Amino acid sequence: MPVRVVGFDGDDTLWHSETRFHVTQGEFRELLQRHVPDADVDARLAEMEMKNLSIYGYGVKSFTLSMLETAIELTAGRIPTSDLEVILGWGKRMLMEPTKLLDGVEKTLRDLGGRYDLLLITKGDLFDQESKLARSGLGELFLGVEILSEKNAETYRGVFTRRGIKPEDFVMVGNSLRSDVVPVVGLGARAVHIPYEVTWHHEHVPEDELPASGWSRVATIADLSGVLGSLDR
């Protein structure tokens, strides 16, 4: 079926995001290992993030709160206030960093905007995502914006209903197999996966659990136009 609507993920599809978390987690690991040298800081932080997802959701604020809680837990409450202030500072720094677009994003969106209706469909903290979109300069290129607390079959179905989209007319583009490919294909739509250099462990999906059809993978967003053109044909 011809493509009518193309949805785009934001973080690590249009602009860099996960690298911020990766760098900050390295700083966090180094700080805590000064207090608890033998602790597996990365594993404990990952456990804390998963435990807190249903409470705080996604994004920098959730990550910062999970770092603080992990620091207090691993040090049995002995971590000094000055170090907690450092962790809070990292969170504020992440929230205030400029939105850096991936190569080829703006050109691709402008080219595709003449052929398809473009939607930004991203998940995370509302304020943070709105701020990143505003700083990106891409807002005018989208027909609409959907900021979701989670990306699954139910929330995508809600987007389709609100916007009068038939799944067979829709293609989702993103870097996450779990969020941008699996639920969309399960609803009868199609997806294009664009891997990012760093992927959060929560977004991984084993190869044997991926849909057998209905999606494809490209190396960069610059390759997207050709894939969408082949779907139209």
Tens of pLDDT, residue by residue over 89-137, are 999 999 999 999 999 999 999 999 999 999 999 998 898 999 999 999 9
Indicate the burial class of 90 (C-beta count within 10 angstroms; 0-12, 13-18, 19 or more): buried
Q: State the span(s) of the chain assigned CATH 1.10.150.240.
A: 18-96
Helical packing angle, 18-33 and 81-96, nearest 10°: 170
Helical packing angle, 41-56 and 60-74, nearest 10°: 130
Q: Which CATH architecture has domain 18-96?
A: Orthogonal Bundle (1.10)
Q: Which CATH architecture has domain 5-16+100-232?
A: 3-Layer(aba) Sandwich (3.40)
d(Cα 54, Cα 51) in Å, to the nearest integer?
Answer: 7
Residues contacting residue 41 through CB under 8 Å, at least 6 positions apart: 28, 29, 32, 33, 70, 74
**Cα dihedral 123/125/131/133 (nearest 10):** 0
d(Cα 111, Cα 91) in Å, to the nearest integer?
Answer: 35
Q: State the span(s) of the chain assigned CATH 3.40.50.1000.
A: 5-16+100-232
Tens of pLDDT, residue by residue over 11-46, are 999 999 888 899 999 999 999 999 999 999 999 999
Tens of pLDDT, residue by residue over 39-98, are 999 999 999 999 998 899 888 999 999 999 999 999 999 999 999 999 999 999 999 999
d(Cα 44, Cα 54) in Å, to the nearest integer?
Answer: 17
Q: pLDDT category, 202, cuts 50, 70, 90? A: low
Average pLDDT over residues 215-219: 92
0.85 exceeded by the pTM? yes
